[in-house]
Amino acid sequence: MNDMDARMRLFIERHVAEIEHLEVQYALASWDLQTTSSAESQERCADLSAAIERVYARSDRFDELCSIESQQLSDSLLERQHILLMNAFRTSQMSDETIEQIVALEVSIEEKFNTYRPTIGGKPVSDNEIDDILINSQDSALRKEVWIASRGVGCEVEDRVLELVRLRNREAKRLGFENYYSMSLISQEQDELQLFELLDSLFENSRSLWIEYKSKLDAELASRFGVLSEDLQPWHHANRFFQEPGPGAAKLDRYFEAMDLESITARFFEQIALPVDDLLLKADLYERENKCQHAFCMDVDRNGDIRVLCNNRPDERWMSTTLHEFGHAVYDKFVDRSLPYILRGPAHTLTTEAIALYMGRLTKSAPWLHEYAGVDTSAASSIAAQARKEMKDSLLVFMRWCFVMCHFERALYQDPDQDLDALWWTLVERYQNISCPEVDRRKGMWAAKIHIATAPVYYHNYLLGEMTASQLLHYLRTAVLSDAADPDRALISSPLVGNWMKSELFAPGAVRRWDAWLQHATGETLNPAYYAADLLSSS
């Protein structure tokens, strides 16, 4: 160990001794907030989040870190930790007052989303109830009422979100960055120009595919609701944001109506050598008042306390969501616990999303439906083509939604004072071909998507994760399972799948950059060709 190594090791020891306890306590408080929305947990979250930010805001620590030259570190693990810590400290150099302002806004916005229940017909309704209406109701007037009400939370938090955006931008510019969006991508080790060139390429190359799909969908919706295609409104779609296409001809929900989603989840992950029985014991899987209505996975302590939150109902969407969240969970579970604390997590946000998205796709796989949902062989065979079409449609619709989110958020941070409502609908019309309902548009509807406030500069990782999932799937088929008699069945039942994921994807933690992680695992960096193939075939 040279002198630089010794200094870096001492810095890490002091830092972890201070930060680890705070991060664990914050995670516990955040879990309480998401599951109860109590005032006490909201206060604890704010206090602990601010305390963590103050650690990274210390200028003396940052100066010390800057004095350590990364290229002179002989230990590769120390070098990687230095890079990650530099990114964290560099973007956190702000005053205590600013930290407290930002954290207070973030926590209050999150609490509003957790407790918001729009009133329909004189009673509050949950997100699940809203989804049921938009999927099943034939009543256009009711759909319109529900859609508008569901976006009301955005109108209520818009001012706070804008205040938060301006604060984030002010600090990013003070630190020498163009804006908060650009700063965040740099800290995530991603290139903004390359990212948006990729988005533009996907947009252009999928244009004909999208036109064909959207034309057919519009004709189906127009026939269903008895209107002209040009008179279709946002509420005629089966999802509030049109980020999912809605149930297709395969009618997959019917296979889960009487099923125990937990049991299916446990059996599937056990079969592929990624057992989750211990994780299911800690999970909070069913909806109730004042509980977060979304779904997520939280690694509380990087030492085995991993928790999943869902709001399950017995349908295909929540089965897919459960598999998705436990995909995150198994990644966290099987990171090598002997790694240093700072490296004891996923290589990147997009790498854990890739695993989760890979798992979530399985409910549209005929072999998986046969094996785990009890669909008999003949029925599974007959719906295979329909299920593949639903997968392709899902990937295509979600990709277009990602274009909206990525371009909107980037533009939001480039100029938060522009007409954001007009910007939102311009992008929705451009990428989703949905017209703005001018008469019923309310100011601030754009803020109804929780990620804009509470998970900033995150959404592009979903799309990169989908691309990575396709690449991993290709590698599993052609390399890991190349000798399998039935690769399709092996993909959903062979321990080779989980064992490869554990050793090559999960165990290395954050030792490598995300692109090096993918290169190491599959032999090539991110290759959009596999995702394009899935968009065309979903086989």
Rounded CA separation 536/539 (Å)? 9
Provide, rounded to the nearest whole percent, the portion of the chain with pLDDT above 90. 91
Specify the 3-state DSSP secondary structure of 285. Answer: coil
Region of 418 please: left (phi>0), alpha (psi -120 to 50) or beta.
Answer: beta
Q: pLDDT digits over 84-126, tens only?
A: 999 999 999 999 999 999 999 999 999 999 899 999 988 999 9
Mean pLDDT confidence for 383-394 = 90
pLDDT of residue 538: 44
- Amino acid residing at 488: D
pLDDT of residue 1: 62
Which residues have CB under 8 Å from 206's CB, separation 6+?
A: 396, 399, 535
What's 338's DSSP letter?
T
Rounded CA separation 388/381 (Å)? 11
Tell me how far CA of residue 19 lies from CA of 16, 73, 204, 304, 455, in angstroms.
5, 23, 45, 18, 21
Q: Residue 86: name the closest of 11, 149, 177, 194 by CA.
A: 11
pLDDT of residue 38: 93
pLDDT of residue 49: 95
pLDDT of residue 231: 93
Which two structure tokens, joined as six digits, stand for 93? 């150099």
DSSP string, 375-426: --HHHHHHHHHHHHHHHHHHHHHHHHHHHHHHHHHHHHHH-TTS-HHHHHHH
Least confident of 222-226, 290-294, 346-350, 413-417: 290-294
Provide, rounded to the nearest whole percent, the portion of the chain with pLDDT above 70. 99
Rounded CA separation 423/414 (Å)? 12
pLDDT of residue 270: 98
Q: Residue 456: name the closest of 180, 53, 173 by CA.
A: 180
Which two structure tokens, joined as six digits, stand for 46? 């704010």
Mean pLDDT confidence for 211-224 = 96
Mean pLDDT confidence for 279-308 = 96
505: number of CA atoms within 13 Å, CB side?
A: 30
- Amino acid residing at 492: I
pLDDT of residue 207: 94
Specify the 3-state DSSP secondary structure of 302. Answer: coil
pLDDT of residue 440: 61
pLDDT value at 362 more than 70: yes
pLDDT value at 79 more than 80: yes
Average pLDDT, the chain: 95
Which residues have CB under 8 Å from 9's CB, separation 6+?
A: 1, 78
Q: pLDDT digits over 500-514, tens only?
A: 999 999 999 999 999
Tell me how far CA of residue 170 lies from CA of 192, 345, 514, in angstroms.
19, 30, 29
Residue-range domain boundaries for the chain: 3-113
Which residues have CB under 8 Å from 303's CB, separation 6+?
A: 337, 344
Mean pLDDT confidence for 154-165 = 96
| φ, ψ (nearest 5 deg) of residue 406 | -65, -45
Asked whether the beta carbons of 451 and 333 are under 8 A apart, the reply is no
Give the residue with greater pLDDT, 387 vs 350. Answer: 350
pLDDT of residue 414: 98
Q: Is 13 exposed, middle or buried (0-12, 13-18, 19+ CB in 10 A)?
A: exposed
Specify the 3-state DSSP secondary structure of 337. Answer: coil
Mean pLDDT confidence for 428-450 = 87
Q: Residue 522: name the closest of 487, 474, 489 by CA.
A: 474
